[in-house]
Amino acid sequence: MGKVYLIGAGPGAADLITVRGARLLGVADVVLHDALVEPAMLELAPAHAKRVAVGKRCWKPSTTQRFIDAKLVETAREYDVVVRLKGGDPMLFGRTDEEMRALEAAGIEYEIVPGITAAVASAAALRRPLTLRGVARGVALATCSRAPGSA
């Protein structure tokens, strides 16, 4: 049985993935990647690595989370190194909890490799801090997306 790496691809630019994320991507047997992942980043994976698009786009046909969860389990049972490459940081609006639960239920080992979230990257690109001593002591991030059937 293989191991799954839930890797944050960062905010879009291929050179903003972490060194650890790039190293693990470089030894992947399979890469299940989001629609937000920069195509050039997939070139960091070995030529033999199977690439599977499992992206989601608002208001467009998308891969269901149930399919992604099942595909992670299926590929981990067949390959040694499975990378789930997610835009931004996997722990922020990344549905990572559902993927972790599916892997845990199947007894599959996994590791989370953080990435740079787009919220922080956009602040850097604009040269505007998200916090400012004496002015802004915190940051709140929210999404308008909801799980089907939630209020």
pLDDT tens digits, one per residue of 61-92: 788 999 999 999 999 999 999 999 999 999 98
**Which is higher by pLDDT, 124 or 51?**
51
Q: Mean pLDDT, the chain, as a whole number?
A: 91
Mean pLDDT to the nearest integer, 1-13:
94
> Using CA atoms, how far apart are residues 78 and 97, in angstroms rounded to an integer?
22
Task: Write phi, then psi, for 39 (nearest 5 degrees).
Answer: -55, -35
> In the prediction, which pLDDT does 146 show?
67
Strand pairing category for 50-53 and 30-33: parallel
Q: For each of the domains in the chain, give its residue range(s) and CATH number, in order of start.
A: 3-126 (3.40.1010.10)
> Which residue shows structure tokens 């991507």?
25
Q: What is the pTM of this model?
A: 0.88
Give the position of tokens 């400012």: 132
Residue 9 pLDDT greater than 90, yes or no: yes
Alpha helices, H only, 1-151: 19-25, 65-78, 96-105, 118-126
